[in-house]
Homo-oligomer: A and B are copies of this chain.
Amino acid sequence: MVGLFLSAYIIALQSIGHNLKNMKRTVFFVSDSTGITAETLGNALLSQFEDIDYYKVTLPFIGSQDEAAEVVQQINDISMNATERPVVFSTLSDPGLYEVIRGSTALVLDLFSVFLGPLGREFKLNPSHGRGLYHGLADRAHYEVRIDAVDFALSHDDGASIHHYERADLILVGVSRSGKTPTSIYLAMQFGIRTANYPLTSDDLDLCRLPEFLEPYLERLYGLTIEPQRLRQVRQTRRPNSPYTSLSRCRKEVNVVEQLFKQQRIPFLDTSFISIEEIASRIMRDSGLKRRFF
């Protein structure tokens, strides 16, 4: 399976005209589970070296000596055909499997063992070396909470339903295309926060006031705003050249909505140049909400 996948990867590289000799670095994320942990820390580390082009490959669910040996074989093949050897970020929790990978010609960084030592001494316990507990069964306990929050976010997306706002932990408000939908879903999925979102429309903005049914929930409102230029760009990809995308309209909507947020003392955040992760993390911090699972 792994072999098949990697062969396909090499063929894909060749077919799109990549020349391995020209590629700066191939980076592998090798894991006995999903590979999310290896990707997350690996990418954060790589972002500290800005001038390098990376080609990234995730190899999840590596669970046996045979699979590990196959990974090594393929790493070495790529190493031989590249000017620079690959870099491997490993979160294999079985030391035996890690030893196999370490036998490759790549620079292999084990993201686990270096910390398990100090933690084990601190806790006076030995690590279980169990495979991917975190992303596996341990999450089950939170499954219901998470699904409930996602269901809530979907059924209360974009003002679709304004019922049951009393069940909402948070209600995002802002102009159309200010980032409410992806933020709501991310908050539900990652933190289990039941998030509704409501688009403030021309009618609301012309009157410069909140719709009446939002008033009982003032404490749960959080505003998203966005620079007019950026808003125009986002709307343009959605509905090119409609009045909705004109800079003057974007500017007017944003002005009024920010005025409304200030008037009503609704905390708000400019989403123009930050990622969904950062928007969500800032809202969690500012609102003092506690995640429903960890």
Contacts and interface: CB of A to CB of B under 8 A. Distances in A.
Given A43-B294, A60-B281, A154-B181, 8 more contacts: A34-B277, A36-B277, A47-B138, A49-B123, A56-B294, A60-B282, A140-B273, A150-B181
B41 A40 contact: yes
A112 B40 contact: no
Interface stretch (A127-135, A167-175, A245-253, A257-265): A127-135
Interface residues of A, number: 87
Contacts of A60: 281-282, 285
A93 to B, nearest CB: 7
B35 A128 contact: no
Nearest to A129: B48
A182 to B, nearest CB: 5
A97 interface: no
Contacts of A109: 115, 118-119
A208 interface: no
A140 B87 contact: no
A274 B136 contact: yes
A225 interface: no
Contacts of A34: 277-278, 280-281
Contacts of A93: 48
A272 to B, nearest CB: 9
Contacts of A139: 275-277
A125 B47 contact: no
Interface stretch (A75-83, A141-149, A198-206, A214-222): A141-149
> Chain copies in the assembly?
2
A61 interface: yes
Interface of chain A: mostly helix, strand, loop or mixed: helix
A146 B151 CA distance: 20
Contacts of A58: 284
A115 B91 CA distance: 14
B33 A278 contact: yes
B49 A120 contact: yes
A78 to B, nearest CB: 16
Contact of A48 (B128, B135, B182, B275): B128
Contact of A116 (B48, B52, B140): B48
8 contacts: A44-B112, A45-B112, A47-B130, A49-B123, A49-B127, A136-B278, A146-B276, A189-B189
A127 B46 CA distance: 9
Contact of A275 (B143, B274, B276): B143
